Amino acid sequence: MPNVTAIALIPLLPLAGFLLLGLFGRKYFKNSSGIIGTMLLLASTVLALYTAYEYFFVYGKVAGVYEKFVALQLTWLEFSPGVSIDMGLIIDPISVMMLVVVTFISLMVHIYSLGYLKGEERFPTYYSYLGLFTFSMLGLVLASNIFQIYIFWELVGVSSFLLIGYYYDKPSAVAACKKAFIVTRFADLGFLIGILILSFSGGTLDFATLIERLTSPESNEFKTAAASTFLGASALTWGAALVFIGGAGKSAMFPLHIWLPDAMEGPTPVSALIHAATMVVAGVYLVARLFPIFSVAVPGVLEIIGWVGAVSAIIAAIIACTQTDIKRVLAYSTMSQIGFMMFALGVSNYGGEAGLGYTASMFHLFTHAMFKALLFLGAGAVIHYVHSNDMKDMGGLRKFLPITHITFLIACLAIAGVPPFAGFFSKEEILLAAFHNNMAIYWIALITSGITAFYMFRLYFNIFWNKELPSSAKATKGKEGGFAMMMPLVLLAVGAAAAGFIPFGEYVSSDGKALHAHFDLSFSIAPVALGLIGILTAFWLYKKQNDKPTKLATSLGGIYKTVYNKFYIDEIYLFITKKVLFNLIGRPAAWFDKNIVDGLMNLIGNVTEKISEGIKKVQSGKVQQYAIYFLGGVIVLAVLFIYIWK
Amino acid sequence: MTGSDIIFYLLATLCVVFALLSVTTRQIFRAAIYLLFTLIGIAGIYFWLQYEFIAAVQIVVYVGGIVVLIIFSIFLTQQTGEQLPKQKLDRKIFAALAVFAGFALTMVQIYQHTFFETDEMAITPTVENIGKKMLAVDSGGYALPFEVISILLLAALIGCIVIALRTKTESK
Amino acid sequence: MQPGLYHILFLSTALFFIGVYGFLTRRNLITMLMSIELILNSVNLNFIAFNKYLWPNQMDGLFFTLFIIAIAAAEAAVAIAIIINLYRSHNSIDVENAEDLKY
């Protein structure tokens, strides 16, 4: 049985860190806050690993199936019998897997930040925010109730907002954090409505009951929900689609992805933690959590998910080829990889062999967390060294940053899907799942994986090769980051290299039964070959400093410009909001407010003031005048009462 | 017309005339003295109604207390022989009209109204009866109002002291 | 004509309105206080008259009169304390000087 104390402590320790450092950090733990936060998280990580070991190898498997355990369920707010917001801890394969990922990556980021943000003025604040984020992410992962997940969902959004805006004296960071918050908030509105529809249809907020009721065609709830339609789709479809919008917003799916590149204004370790490895996959996790509903009850929504994921994957990959800010390249790469996870879910079915996409998606989530965190932390090390985000300021750094160079290369190989690195295995599974279910998505995915290899190696060659820096530069630029920064890089590199050999299908699958993925070597030829072509193209273009890339860009002309400007999606948003919304709705509303509403208020105010001016004269302070009024009033009233209103 | 009636009319005339003089004279000391006469006249009417105790109280408290107090305060605040300031004429006319209207209205109402007397045995308001009733705690007794009034008097006493004290501290 | 209730009521009403007239026209605070005493006395007279002519079996009117006299005494004492205080600060007891109390 699950050890409740251990599981509950996993999210509570970071929360303790947040409270301790947030309240007293600046006063008492000015220098030790980083160590405190890291130690607490280390304890959390150990507990998470312990929980994972216990679950996967000791008690989790009952008759060949990984069961779902609800370790703890506290009713927090009860609306009516059966409908209550609970605070619970759910233990099943994906939540345990996420526990390990979140605590491990968070621990790496904590350690890394010790070096990266050394000497920062608001060091304790930074660590308290990290604690808050880790707490809410773990709470989200462990949520046993759809409303609990929503609460932690928003908490995650807030901590992301706080961390993106960490450099609050930088206007671009402030704009970015607002943008991230507003865009995801907008999507969360859909999520909330979806929650309400689903919970109304299911008559409960609890995941297990909800899934049970909405997936069995015999239950009353299912019949009612499927029967009630709105705009040609059943209530169930609407609910699921709206929940997916929430997930798409958080996971930066097209067209709600616009906040993610800007979110790179935050400190780089934060980008590694939140905007690469953990928070942005929350949408994927959400869909996976409700996967039975998506797959059994509303297969149409699953198709939407698949296409949204595929389109996001390819668009982001194309944009990533043209960006010069290395963090932005990584941001688009993240978006593209999450697109992979999304469409993997979209092409999956429930149970058995057909559930391969689900396993693949979770597997990719796991491996992606490793190599993407590694990429970001490596990029952080580079940025720390050259004090710039732009590729143009880099080049030939392999001699100056040897550890970073090797680990970055491993990560690039992993993401490009070169065997035997982690990305190869998970991506193969995804492609296999797509191949069996949807050929169109398969082709898109195949092309995207080729492009992925190209832009990652473009990044790699631009940073570490290309133009050579004179060796005298080494003396002026100082050393590579210290032990605190290198240690996470090495650990994550080991993960990125080896994580693929975990027999993931044994542990995580849509129905809990072990899934044995069949690898066909001939199937792997196409993606690996495409990946190698991408790498070679990048090698040819960027290995040495030359004018080939510029020529290519010029020859592509308008297309290049469109892609460089991210398909003008930001501009379209601006056009819609500024021109259409502001002019058609905002201006008339403002006019109405200014002239009618304010006018009414001013009128009331003015009338009151005039009347008051009149009445003020009555209050003269002359006692005898008061007496006269009084006497006159009494006489008038007496006459009225006696002679008129008898 | 009996002697008793004549006495009443005399007392009533005395009251009204001195009251009028009291509110119209422009010498404040005289106003106080006229008020004194009015109050004595009212005490006389109480005697005439055979409410001797009330008449005695009227003389002791009003004449012996309040009027003396007023005269003292006049001495404290007024130069003797100084005339009171004149009130504006329109105010006087308006006040006279309002007062006359009120008086007429009241009198009309009183004369149109028929009062009913009780047939029960009359109690003579002797000092003994009044004293018993005043301190009675049963139904119809006045012990509670008596206590309330004593508290009020105490409060007024303290109030006067406080008012007097405050100016002293201010003047320091 | 035998004097009775109506005569006394006439007297008390007359005294009352004389007091009101004084209150309205006087500008000196002490004389205004004197007007108030007149009004109170007219009320007392009313109580006694009603007690005497309408309910001689009871003594309620008499007690009311007694209490009113006591209250009037207290009121006069406080009023004169205030008036003297005003005189100290404004060096005058004209009612128009009391106007600035409204601030």
Interface check A628 vs B, CB under 8 A: yes
Q: How confident is the model at residue B84 (pLDDT cuts 50, 70, 90)?
A: confident
User: Which segment of A109-123, A477-491, B59-73, C17-31 scores lowest on mean pLDDT?
Assistant: A477-491
Q: Which of B23, B87, B105, B113 to mutate to test the interface with A (most CBs of A within 10 A)?
A: B105
Q: Are A424 and A418 in contact (CB under 8 A)?
A: yes
Nearest CA among A377, A378, A369 for reference residue A504: A369
Q: Quick check: A227 pLDDT over 80?
A: no
List all residues of chain B from 75 to 114 with a beta carbon under 8 Å from chain C: 76-78, 84-85, 87, 91-92, 94-96, 98-100, 102-103, 106-107, 110-111
B61–C contact, CB cutoff 8 A: yes
Backbone conformation region of residue A377, classed left if phi is above 0, alpha if psi is from -120 to 50, else beta: alpha
Residue A24 reports pLDDT greater than 80 = yes
List, for residues A374-422, the tens digit of each pLDDT value: 888 888 888 888 877 777 777 777 777 888 888 888 888 888 888 778 8
Tokens (6 digits) for B166 = 């405050």
| 3-class secondary structure, A69 | strand
Residue A154 has pLDDT above 60, yes or no: yes
Radius of gyration for the alpha carbons in chain A, expressed in angstroms and rounded = 30
* Residues A52 and A99 sit within 8 Å (Cβ to Cβ): yes
Minimum CA–CA partner of B28 in chain C: C31
Coil, helix or strand for C103?
Answer: coil
The three-point CA angle A334-A336-A339 to 5° equals 110
Residue A624: closest C-alpha in chain C? C24
Give the model's confidence band at A480: pLDDT under 50 very low, under 70 low, under 90 confident, else very high: low
Amino acid making up residue A97 = M
Longest pairwise C-alpha distance within chain A: 114
For residue B98, the chain A residues in CB contact (below 8 A) are 628, 631-632, 635
DSSP states of A11-57: HHHHHHHHHHHHHHHHHH-TTTHHHHHHHHHHHHHHHHHHHHHIIII
Spatial contact of A207 and A68, defined as CB atoms under 8 Å apart: no
The better pLDDT of the pair C40, B138 is held by C40
Band of residue C11 on the pLDDT scale cut at 50, 70, 90 = very high
H/E segment holding residue B95 = helix B89-112
Contact A624 C100 (CB under 8 A): no
Tokens of A73: 């369920």
- Are residues C62 and C48 in contact, defined by beta-carbon separation less than 8 angstroms? yes
User: Residue range A32-48: average pLDDT?
Assistant: 88
User: Minimal CA–CA distance to B6: which of C48, C50, C2, C5?
Assistant: C2
pLDDT score of A415: 86
State residue B169's pLDDT score.
52
Contact between B102 and A628 using a beta-carbon 8 Å cutoff: no
The residue-averaged pLDDT of A148-173 equals: 88
Query: What pLDDT does A471 receive?
Result: 54
The number of angstroms, rounded, from the C-alpha of A82 to the middle of its chain's C-alpha atoms is: 31
Residue tagged 């009733």 (tokens): B133
Q: Determine the average pLDDT of the residues in C39-62.
A: 90
- Statement: residue B167 has pLDDT above 60: no
Range A175-198 average pLDDT: 87
What's residue A479's pLDDT? 65
Q: Using alpha carbons, list the distances in angstroms from residue A38 to A103, A482, C98.
A: 11, 17, 75
> Is the pLDDT confidence value at B131 over 80?
yes
- What is the rounded average pLDDT for all residues in chain A? 82
Block residue for tokens 């997930």: A247
Distance from CA of B99 to the nearest CA of C (A): 6
Interval A23-33 mean pLDDT: 81
For residue A559, give both structure tokens. 């297309």
Classify residue C103: in a domain, yes or no: no
Give the pair of three-digit tokens for residue A56.
């996967």
Given this model, what pLDDT does residue B172 score?
44
Higher pLDDT, A431 or A482: A431
Q: What does the pLDDT read at residue A360?
A: 85
Express each pLDDT in A592-606 by its tens digit.
888 888 889 899 999
Give which of A618, A619, A623 to mutate to test C binding, by max C Cβ within 10 Å. A623
Q: In angstroms, what separates the C-alpha of C22 from chain A's closest C-alpha? A: 10
- Is A628 in contact with B95 (Cβ distance < 8 A)? yes
Range of the domain at C25: 5-97
From C53, C89, C90, C17, select the one nearest A634 (Cα to Cα).
Answer: C17
Residue C17 confidence (pLDDT): 93
Strand partners, A86: A75
Distance CA A581, CA A560 (A): 30
Average pLDDT over residues A119-142: 87
Assess if residue C38 is contained within a domain: yes
pLDDT at A214 over 80: no
Q: Report the chain A residue with the minimal C-alpha distance to residue C99.
A: A621
pLDDT tens digits for range A445-457: 888 888 888 888 8
Chosen for mutation from C16, C17, C23 (greatest number of chain A CBs closer than 10 Å) is: C23
Q: Is residue C63 part of a domain?
A: yes
Task: List the single range of A468-482, A487-501, C52-66 with lowest mean pLDDT.
Answer: A468-482
Cα angle, residue A198 at apex, residues A197 and A204 outer, rounded to 5°:
115
Confirm if A395 and A465 have CB atoms less than 8 A apart: yes
The mean pLDDT of A210-234, rounded to a whole number, is: 73
Based on the number of CB atoms within 10 Å of its own CB, is A491 exposed (0-12), middle (13-18) or buried (19 or more)?
middle
Give the per-residue pLDDT at A169: 85
Q: B98 touching A, CB under 8 A?
A: yes
Count of domains in chain C? Answer: 1
Residue A217: strand, helix, or coil:
coil
Q: What is the pLDDT of residue A477?
A: 56
> In this prediction, what percent of chain A has a pLDDT beyond 70?
95
Structure tokens at B79: 């130069």
User: What average pLDDT does chain B have?
Assistant: 86
Residues 4-63 on C with a CB inside 8 Å of B are 5-11, 13-15, 17-22, 24-28, 30-31, 33-35, 37-38, 41, 44-45, 48-49, 52-59, 62-63
Q: Which chains touch A (3 or more CB pairs under 8 A)?
A: B, C
Q: What is the pLDDT of residues C87-103, one digit of tens each?
A: 888 888 888 777 777 76
Q: Which residue in the block uniquely carries the two structure tokens 């296409």?
A: A307
Give domain status of residue C102, yes or no.
Answer: no
- CB under 8 Å to A270, separation ≥6 — which residues? A109, A130, A163, A164, A166
How near does any CA of chain B get to the CA of A613, in Å?
Answer: 24
Region A113-133 average pLDDT: 84
Backbone angles phi, psi at B86, to 5 degrees: -80, 140
What's the whole-number mean pLDDT along residues A288-309? 82
Which has the higher per-residue pLDDT, C42 or A223?
Answer: C42
CATH of the domain at C16: 1.10.287.3510
Q: Which residue has the higher pLDDT, A227 or B154?
A: B154
Band the pLDDT of A607: cuts 50, 70, 90.
very high
User: A622 and C96: CB-CB below 8 Å?
Assistant: yes
Please state the rounded mean pLDDT for residues A264-288: 85
Is residue A68 over pLDDT 70? yes
Q: How far, in Å, CA of C31 to CA of B99, rounded?
A: 18
| Of B16, B95, B152, Cβ closest to residue C74 | B152
Query: Which residues 586-625 of chain A have a CB within 8 Å of chain B?
Result: 624
